[in-house]
């Protein structure tokens, strides 16, 4: 009897594991990850306690306080383009990426030059400034009901900043790419291949949603056709069969713009769809596996693949858009047609959930790609802080080259960067768990960011 009950419990547990994931647990962890990426003075509420204060003099050499913000990935540079996170002024990047990448050092010990790069009239960086405006506008909406004062402050920063009139106006008035301004300081790290025009429209679209000011809507409407004329420029220098409408990530915003604007148009039957809804539909058809115009690929185990490094950034970012568009389409009762194939909102949500489940362990290796979720997950992630002993355990400084033995070690990382999602498996569903293989083993803020949104949805809308 005892054995039977025990057996039944095991079978039930197995069924539960296969059928669904603990999205709430994964959501909590996906947010916790960002605490491990924090730079500057850590708050007293810091839960990832193996991390300590770092970069406490960032910006001081130019007399500006640039302390704080986030490290974008497994290194100690604050690249602001993929993060879109405000420090002060129009900070574009902080750190010397070459010096930093040549060292394997804890952020708490780093001693490579902390060079600040800020956008100005002479040194434009429209994509970074416009991305910051978009991030501020979107965040102001998130905090509007819970913390109206903070929300108002965020919006004010997007639309009105110190000596700069507004991040958006500054980006638009001083047009130029940070790619040209900073050259080798951002390329090959975060080269902007798609230009800054998409970020200007993206910034205007978010500002329109946050403020409802007609000038931002005019900006979107008047410039979108130029944007769509540009043939897809390639992310990470890798050729790709999709069009501009199929691109979405830290560089190219096109699909995000179309879906964001579609939400406004779908809820307003009097307005003209313009190029937005048709292009949003084309995006869906480029992702749906059964679509005749699919341009992404899928591994045998079902994971979405697109050219370019850190593949899970594509799986999370595109799934997030599919989910958002499915919900807008459902609210307005429409289906998407890809040739003869009909994409219902339910099908798009199912596809997005399939990607999330794959990441959490429903895959041929039964491996979760989120550190600390499930019992089989990456142990040797490409992340300096996670792989070196913590300051608590080893208070003495570990210098630039002093970290090399830890990088080369076959031991698992001593510090769990809980919630970090790595670049992921190869397109044959294999994963080597190698610290040196950064394309697959490095976590990044832009893999996790869209995943937070997906997990929040699946946490409150579990599968039937």
Ligand X SMILES: *[C@@H]1O[C@H](CO)[C@@H](O)[C@H](O)[C@H]1NC(C)=O
Q: Do residues 336 and 284 touch, judged by C-beta distance below 8 A?
A: yes
Answer yes or no whether residue 330 interacts with ligand X by CB under 6 A.
yes
Q: Map the footprint of ligand X across residues 161-180, applying CB under 6 A.
A: 177, 179
Answer yes or no whether residue 351 interacts with ligand X by CB under 6 A.
no
Binding ligand X (rule: CB under 6 A), the pick from 222, 225, 401, 430 is 222
**Phi and psi dihedrals of 336, rounded to 5?**
-110, 135
CB-neighbour burial class of residue 268 (10 A; exposed 0-12, middle 13-18, buried 19+): exposed
CA distance 110 to 114: 9
Shortest distance, position 158 Cβ to ligand X, whole Å? 18
Answer yes or no whether residue 409 interacts with ligand X by CB under 6 A.
no
The DSSP call for residue 302 is: -
Q: Which is nearer to ligand X, 113 or 183 (CB)?
A: 183
The residues with which 91 forms a beta bridge, in sequence order, are: 118
Beta-sheet strands, E only, within 116-218: 116-118
Answer yes or no whether residue 275 interacts with ligand X by CB under 6 A.
no
Q: Which is nearer to ligand X, 36 or 125 (CB)?
A: 125
Q: How many CB atoms lie within 10 A of CB 376?
A: 11
Q: Which is nearer to ligand X, 49 or 461 (CB)?
A: 461
The DSSP call for residue 338 is: E
Q: Which is nearer to ligand X, 67 or 367 (CB)?
A: 367
Binding ligand X (rule: CB under 6 A), the pick from 16, 271, 399, 404 is 271
CA distance 458 to 455: 5
Binding ligand X (rule: CB under 6 A), the pick from 365, 395, 432, 460 is 365
Q: Which is nearer to ligand X, 325 or 438 (CB)?
A: 325
Which of these ranges, 4-12, 24-32, 215-223, 451-459, lies near ligand X under the rule CB under 6 A?
215-223
Shortest distance, position 390 Cβ to ligand X, whole Å? 31
Structure tokens, 300: 């045998």
Q: How many CB atoms lie within 10 A of CB 121?
A: 10
CA distance 283 to 296: 10
Q: Left (φ > 0), alpha (ψ -120 to 50) or beta: where does 371 sit? A: beta
CA distance 130 to 194: 14
Beta-sheet strands, E only, within 276-385: 297-298, 304-305, 336-338, 341-343
Shortest distance, position 221 Cβ to ligand X, whole Å? 9
Nearest partner of 36 among 89, 90, 80, 72, judged by Cα: 72
Shortest distance, position 401 Cβ to ligand X, whole Å? 29
Catalytic residues: 382, 433, 442
Shortest distance, position 241 Cβ to ligand X, whole Å? 19
Binding pattern to ligand X, positions 185-214, x when CB under 6 A?
Answer: --x---xxx-x-x--x--------------
- Angstrom CA distances, 331 to 274, 278, 328, stand at 20, 17, 5
Which of these ranges, 27-35, 127-135, 184-192, 245-253, lies near ligand X under the rule CB under 6 A?
184-192
Shortest distance, position 267 Cβ to ligand X, whole Å? 7
Answer yes or no whether residue 268 interacts with ligand X by CB under 6 A.
yes
Residues of this chain that bind ligand X (CB under 6 A): 177, 179, 187, 191-193, 195, 197, 200, 219, 222-223, 226, 268, 270-271, 327, 330, 345, 349, 365-366
């Amino acid at each position: 009897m005892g054995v039977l009950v025990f057996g039944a419990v095991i079978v039930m547990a197995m069924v539960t594991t296969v059928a669904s994931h603990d999205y709430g647990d994964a959501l909590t962890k996906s947010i916790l990850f960002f605490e491990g990426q924090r730079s500057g003075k850590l708050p007293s509420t810091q839960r990832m306690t193996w991390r300590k204060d770092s970069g406490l003099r960032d910006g001081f050499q130019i007399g500006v306080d640039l302390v704080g913000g986030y490290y974008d990935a497994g290194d100690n540079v604050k690249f602001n383009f993929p993060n879109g996170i405000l420090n002060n002024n129009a900070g574009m990047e902080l750190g010397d990426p070459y010096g930093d990448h040549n060292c394997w050092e804890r952020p708490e010990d780093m001693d490579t030059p902390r060079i600040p790069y800020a956008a100005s009239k002479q040194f434009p960086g429209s994509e970074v400034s416009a991305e910051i405006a978009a991030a501020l506008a979107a965040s102001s909406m998130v905090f509007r009901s819970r913390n109206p004062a903070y929300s108002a402050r965020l919006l004010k920063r997007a639309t009105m900043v110190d000596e700069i009139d507004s991040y958006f106006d500054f980006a638009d008035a001083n047009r130029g790419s940070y790619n040209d301004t900073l050259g080798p300081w951002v390329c090959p790290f975060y080269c902007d291949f798609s230009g800054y025009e998409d970020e200007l429209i993206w910034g205007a679209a978010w500002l329109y949603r946050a403020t409802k000011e007609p000038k931002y809507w005019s900006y979107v409407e008047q410039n979108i056709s130029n944007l769509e004329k540009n043939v897809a420029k390639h992310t990470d220098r890798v050729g790709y069969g999709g069009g501009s409408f199929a691109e979405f990530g830290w560089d190219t915003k096109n699909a995000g713009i179309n879906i964001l604007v579609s939400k406004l148009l779908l809820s307003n039957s009097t307005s003209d769809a313009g190029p937005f809804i048709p292009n949003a539909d084309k995006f869906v058809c480029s992702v749906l596996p059964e679509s005749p115009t699919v341009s992404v690929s899928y591994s045998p185990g079902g994971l979405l693949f697109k050219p370019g490094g850190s593949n899970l950034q594509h799986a999370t970012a595109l799934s997030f858009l599919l989910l958002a568009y499915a919900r807008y389409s459902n609210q307005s009762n429409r289906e998407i047609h890809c040739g003869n194939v009909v994409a219902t909102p339910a099908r798009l949500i199912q596809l997005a959930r399939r990607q999330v489940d794959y990441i959490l362990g429903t895959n041929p290796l039964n491996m979760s790609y989120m550190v600390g979720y499930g019992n089989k997950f990456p142990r040797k992630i490409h992340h300096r802080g996670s792989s070196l002993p913590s300051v608590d355990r080893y208070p003495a400084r570990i210098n630039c080259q002093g970290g090399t033995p830890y990088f080369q070690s076959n031991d698992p990382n001593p510090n769990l960067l809980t919630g970090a999602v790595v670049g992921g498996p190869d397109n044959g569903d294999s994963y080597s768990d190698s610290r040196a293989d950064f394309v697959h083993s490095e976590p990044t803020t832009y893999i996790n960011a869209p995943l937070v949104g997906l997990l929040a949805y699946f946490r409150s809308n579990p599968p039937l």
